[in-house]
Amino acid sequence: MNDYLFLKLMGEEGDEEQCLAFLNAVLGSKSLKPVTLVKILENKTFVAEVLGDKTSILDVRVETDIGEKINIEVQLKDLHNMEKRTLMHWGREFTTGISAGGNYKDLPKVITINIVNFDNIKLDDFHTCFHLWEDNHHEYLLTDVLEIHFINMVKFRKLKTGDIANNLLERWLTFLDVNTPEKTLQEVIHMDSAINKAFQRLNFVTQDKEFLREYHLREMALSDWTTGIDTATEKGIEIGIERGIERGIEKGAAQKQIEIARNLLSEGLSMELIRKTTGLDIETIQSL
């Protein structure tokens, strides 16, 4: 579930077999026909500064044989912005699909797939898929150019009975889940040739010293980001409690909360969490 490692398994030249198999596992239950060919759109700009910056995006981008574009992102930390974040990714891919003065019919279908390690969609399913349906006529699709998937690893781990023998997506998620017992892991590796190839690729890249250095750099960035967010949250809550944020707080205390809010905004916390922490209203926080 390290986004850099996922990209090395799925997002480079030579990874087409396992990438294609994973895409069909995700899209299989939602699409009318399988994906038959993918072209991986490689990102070759990885440097220490990029890997060490958790705000950088290390997603897997592919194009299918019929011109559809697919973006896969792994996200471990809930920053309360995943829905808008995935729409931004979708919009980026969609709008770059046409040149200035081009024909709108040339705009491609864009699919985003989000593998998240937190519970952001308030539904029971571990795999959810969204389209543009009409409110009162759910069978009427405005256009199929938008398709957004969320794969919730938290809900997947809570499945009481899995079906790795028949369910391709459950098989892949079992392989990707660090909590999978070794015996079960070996089962999925040996029952699926594409997963076996991904496993071989995993063994290959982890023998490379430069990759291991980059991998640990990315792990440190993830840990530093998580620690920073958690510390800022705890500090904000602690100060909020100490200050006794209530109605009619004095002007000096209100100014202190504004300082706290600015600090939490700079750490990337959502406005809703800052509101709960400081007691400031959303309009005040937006003005900062």
* DSSP secondary structure, 132-178, as one string: -B-SS-TT-BS-SSEEEEEEEHHHHHT-SS--TTT-HHHHHHHHH-T
Strand partners, 115: 74, 151
- DSSP annotation of 39: E
CA distances from 103 to 19, 70, 107 (A): 30, 21, 8
- DSSP annotation of 105: G
Burial of 9 (0-12, 13-18, 19+ CB in 10 A): buried
Residue from 80, 119, 82, 74 nearest 269 by CA: 80
- The arithmetic mean of pLDDT across residues 215-221, rounded, is 65
Burial of 74 (0-12, 13-18, 19+ CB in 10 A): buried
Of 43-57, 178-192, 268-282, the poorest mean pLDDT is in 43-57
- Please report, to the nearest 10 degrees, the dihedral formed by the alpha carbons of residues 170, 214, 18, 27 taken in order: 50
Confidence of residue 47 (pLDDT cuts 50, 70, 90): very low
pLDDT for position 260: 82
- The arithmetic mean of pLDDT across residues 165-190, rounded, is 93
- Does residue 189 surpass a pLDDT of 90? yes
- The arithmetic mean of pLDDT across residues 8-36, rounded, is 86
Strand ordering across the sheet containing 146-152: 38-40, 60-64, 69-75, 110-116, 146-152, 127-130
CA distances from 82 to 2, 148, 250 (A): 17, 11, 36
User: How far apart are alpha carbons 261 and 197 in whole angstroms?
Assistant: 48
Phi, psi of 115, rounded to the nearest 5 degrees: -100, 110
- Does residue 137 surpass a pLDDT of 80? yes
- The arithmetic mean of pLDDT across residues 65-91, rounded, is 89
pLDDT for position 148: 96
pLDDT for position 202: 87
Confidence of residue 253 (pLDDT cuts 50, 70, 90): low
69-75 and 110-116 beta bridge pairing: parallel
Question: Where along the chain do its domains lie?
Answer: 3-190, 211-287
CA distances from 142 to 29, 66, 145, 146 (A): 21, 20, 9, 10
- Beta-carbon contacts of 118 under 8 Å, excluding residues fewer than 6 positions away, are 75, 76, 77, 78, 152, 154
- Does residue 30 surpass a pLDDT of 70? no
Of 103-112, 143-152, 165-174, 267-276, the poorest mean pLDDT is in 267-276
Q: Mapping DSSP to helix (H, G, I), strand (E, B) and coil, where does residue 272 land?
A: helix
User: How far apart are alpha carbons 180 and 221 in whole angstroms?
Assistant: 24
Of 115-124, 132-141, 151-160, 223-232, the poorest mean pLDDT is in 223-232
Q: Mapping DSSP to helix (H, G, I), strand (E, B) and coil, where does residue 8 land?
A: helix
- Does residue 85 surpass a pLDDT of 80? yes
